[in-house]
Structure 1
Amino acid sequence: MEFKDYYKILGIKDNATTDEIKKAYRKLARKYHPDVSKEDNAENRFKEVGEAYEVLKDPGKRAEYDQLKQLGARGRDGSFQPPPNWQSASHFHETFNGDSQFSDFFEAIFGQQGSARRHYSSQGFQQTIKMRGDDVHHRIGLFLEEAYKGCLRTLQFQVPEADNQGLITHRTKTLNVKIPAGVTQGQHIRLKGQGAPGIGGGPNGDLFLEIELAPHPLFHAEGKDIFLSVPVTPWEAALGSAITIPTLGGKVSLIIPAGAQSGQRFRLKERGLPGTPPGNQYAILQLAQPAHHSDKAKALYQQLAQEESHFNPRQKLGV
Structure 2
Amino acid sequence: MARDPYDVIGVARTANAEDIKKAFRKKAKALHPDANPKDAKAQDRFAELNNAYELLSDEAKRKSFDRGEIDAEGKQRFTGFEGFGGRPGGTRGGAPGGDTIFETFSFGQEGFRRSGNRKAGGAPSSDDFFDILSGMTGRAGGSFRGGDPFGAGGEPQSGGEDVTLTVRVPFLDAARGATQRVVLPSGEAVDIKIPSGTRDGHRMRLRGKGKPGSLGRPTGDAYVVIAVEPHPAFRAEGKDVRLELPIALDEAILGGKVRAPTLDGEVELTLPAMTASGKSFRLRGKGLASADGPGDLYVTMRIVLPEPSADLEGFARVLKERRKTDPRQGL
TM-score bin (small chain): 0.5 to 0.7
Give distance in 1, aligned partners of 2:192 and 2:247. 42
Pick from 160, 169, 179 the counterpart of residue 152 of structure 1: 179
Residue 206 (1) aligns with residue 221 (2): yes
User: Counterpart of 2:253 in 1: which secondary structure?
Assistant: helix
Measure how far apart 1:282 and its partner are. Answer: 1.5
Measure how far apart 1:156 and its partner are. Answer: 1.2
Residue 254 (1) aligns with residue 269 (2): yes
Give distance in 1, aligned partners of 2:318 and 2:289. 49
Pick from 150, 154, 162 the counterpart of residue 135 of structure 1: 162
Measure how far apart 1:98 and its partner are. Answer: 4.1
Determine if contact 1:98/1:123 at 8 Å carries over to the other structure: no
Determine if contact 1:185/1:223 at 8 Å carries over to the other structure: no
The 1:250–1:98 alpha-carbon spacing in structure 2 relative to 1, beyond 3 Å, is same
Measure how far apart 1:302 and its partner are. Answer: 2.6
Residue 119 (1) aligns with residue 115 (2): yes
The 1:95–1:133 alpha-carbon spacing in structure 2 relative to 1, beyond 3 Å, is closer
Give distance in 2, aligned partners of 1:232 and 1:120. 85
User: Counterpart of 2:187 in 1: which secondary structure?
Assistant: strand
Which residue of the partner structure matches residue 137 of structure 2? none
User: Counterpart of 1:237 in 2: which secondary structure?
Assistant: helix
Q: For each residue in 1:95-148, what CA deviation from the matched residue of structure 2 results, as whole angstroms up to 9, or x when unmatched?
A: 633476769xx8xxx57xxxx642279983747988432221101111112112
Determine if contact 2:278/2:302 at 8 Å carries over to the other structure: yes
Determine if contact 2:184/2:209 at 8 Å carries over to the other structure: no
Which residue of the partner structure matches residue 302 of structure 2? 286
| Count of aligned pairs | 203
User: Counterpart of 1:315 in 2: which secondary structure?
Assistant: coil
The 1:291–1:123 alpha-carbon spacing in structure 2 relative to 1, beyond 3 Å, is same
Determine if contact 2:80/2:106 at 8 Å carries over to the other structure: no
Determine if contact 2:106/2:113 at 8 Å carries over to the other structure: no
Higher relative contact order (CA 8 A, sep 6+): 1
RMSD over aligned CA atoms reads 3.3
User: Counterpart of 2:181 in 1: which secondary structure?
Assistant: strand
Determine if contact 1:131/1:199 at 8 Å carries over to the other structure: yes
Pick from 246, 251, 260 the counterpart of residue 231 of structure 1: 246
Which residue of the partner structure matches residue 312 of structure 1? 326
User: Counterpart of 1:172 in 2: which secondary structure?
Assistant: coil
**Matched ranges for 1:80-119 at <5 A:** 96-98=81-83, 110=110, 117-119=113-115
The 1:95–1:314 alpha-carbon spacing in structure 2 relative to 1, beyond 3 Å, is closer
Q: For each residue in 1:169-200, what CA deviation from the matched residue of structure 2 results, as whole angstroms up to 9, or x when unmatched?
A: xx333222222222111111112222222334
The 1:298–1:190 alpha-carbon spacing in structure 2 relative to 1, beyond 3 Å, is same
Query: Could you tell me which amino acid in structure 2 is paired with residue 252 of structure 1?
Result: V
Q: For each residue in 1:38-58, what CA deviation from the matched residue of structure 2 results, as whole angstroms up to 9, or x when unmatched?
A: xxxxxxxxxxxxxxxxxxxxx
The 1:148–1:298 alpha-carbon spacing in structure 2 relative to 1, beyond 3 Å, is same
User: Counterpart of 1:316 in 2: which secondary structure?
Assistant: coil
Structure 1 unaligned residues grouped into runs of 5+? 1-17, 20-93, 159-170
Identity percentage over the alignment? 33
Give distance in 1, aligned partners of 2:251 and 2:107. 83
Which residue of the partner structure matches residue 197 of structure 1? 212
Structure 2 unaligned residues grouped into runs of 5+? 3-78, 85-104, 118-143, 151-155
Which residue of the partner structure matches residue 259 of structure 2? 244
Give distance in 2, aligned partners of 1:313 and 1:219. 29
Determine if contact 1:97/1:125 at 8 Å carries over to the other structure: no
Which residue of the partner structure matches residue 162 of structure 1? none
Give the TM-score, by structure 2 length: 0.53
Give the TM-score, by structure 1 length: 0.54
**Matched ranges for 1:19-34 at <5 A:** none
Which residue of the partner structure matches residue 267 of structure 1? 282
**Matched ranges for 1:178-193 at <5 A:** 178-193=193-208
Determine if contact 1:186/1:211 at 8 Å carries over to the other structure: yes
Q: Which has the higher strand share?
A: 1
